[in-house]
Amino acid sequence: MRRDRTTCTFSDSFRHRLNMYTLAASAAGVGTLVLAQSAEAKIIYTKTHIVIAGAQQYYLDLSHDKITDFTVVNFWTTACPDSCGQWLYLKPPTGNSEIGSATNRGWHFARALSKGSAIGPNGHFLAGTGMMAAAFSTQPSVGAWRNVTNRYLGLKFAIKGKTHYGWARLNVTGGFGTIVATLTGYAYETIPNKPIIAGKTKGPDVITVEPATLGSLALGRR
């Protein structure tokens, strides 16, 4: 069961917590928060570089509240020759979803959005596992995330029962047995139900967090 989230607001208490976050980051020697000029910033952008190779997974915490919002899984099986393959997919918990395209087999592909795409209430969000890329020993590779650079997952998730929108930017390389995904950044809109633009990382309404070691979950473990 997922515990309640802490809503991100920009009251005096929120700014105080940001200051504490900065001090904690400096003390730990892992980086600082880089704040935008405006105190009314409403987009939290996390700059990172996380490599997700075969047989690894990454627990993505968009809002830095230590709750997994999505899991990026790079699954590999050696059950050859019948089902030897590698799958890169996005796995959301119940209630969260990603922009995707349905198939006639009951599962769907996660879309690889371009920079500038709007992510909001009008998006075609699908619950459940979203296939990103797959490669096999005896079949053609499939998925919109095959060998792409700077593409975006469109994400919808809940904070304390309210819907928020975000994105995750990844590069994906390789084929059968060599698929590697690199997460280079992610962001979310703090105002419930407000759309966010994929790849927007600058402006008076943006707070930048770097690196993503604080508030994030490690590879392969919660």
Which residues constitute the domain of residue 128?
A: 33-210
Residue 23 forms part of a structural domain: no
The number of domains in the chain is: 1
pLDDT of 213 over the 70 cut: no
**What is the model's pLDDT at position 184?**
97
Q: Report helix, strand or coil for 94.
A: coil
pLDDT of 78 over the 50 cut: yes
Distance CA 89, CA 98 (A): 11
Q: 52 with 182: CB under 8 angstroms?
A: yes
Residue 105 forms part of a structural domain: yes
For residues 88-92, give the mean pLDDT.
97
Condensed to tens digits (0 to 9), the pLDDT of residues 1-45 reads 444 443 444 445 544 444 544 444 443 333 334 343 344 669 999
CB atoms under 10 Å from CB of 18, counted, come to 18
Q: Nearest 5°: CA angle at 118, between 172 and 113?
A: 20
Residue 1 forms part of a structural domain: no
Residue 18 forms part of a structural domain: no
Residue 27 forms part of a structural domain: no
Condensed to tens digits (0 to 9), the pLDDT of residues 132-190 reads 999 988 888 889 999 999 999 999 999 999 999 999 999 999 998 899 999 999 999 99
Q: 53 with 178: CB under 8 angstroms?
A: no
Nearest to 181 by CA among 148, 154, 213: 148
Distance CA 59, CA 65 (A): 12
Computed over every residue of the chain, the mean pLDDT equals 81
Residue 222 forms part of a structural domain: no
For residues 60-79, give the mean pLDDT.
92
Residue 65 forms part of a structural domain: yes
Residue 14 forms part of a structural domain: no
Distance CA 47, CA 209 (A): 6
- Categorize the per-residue pLDDT at 87 as very low, low, confident or very high, splitting at 50, 70 and 90: very high
Strands 56-60 and 43-52: unpaired
Q: Which residue has the higher pLDDT, 18 or 78?
A: 78
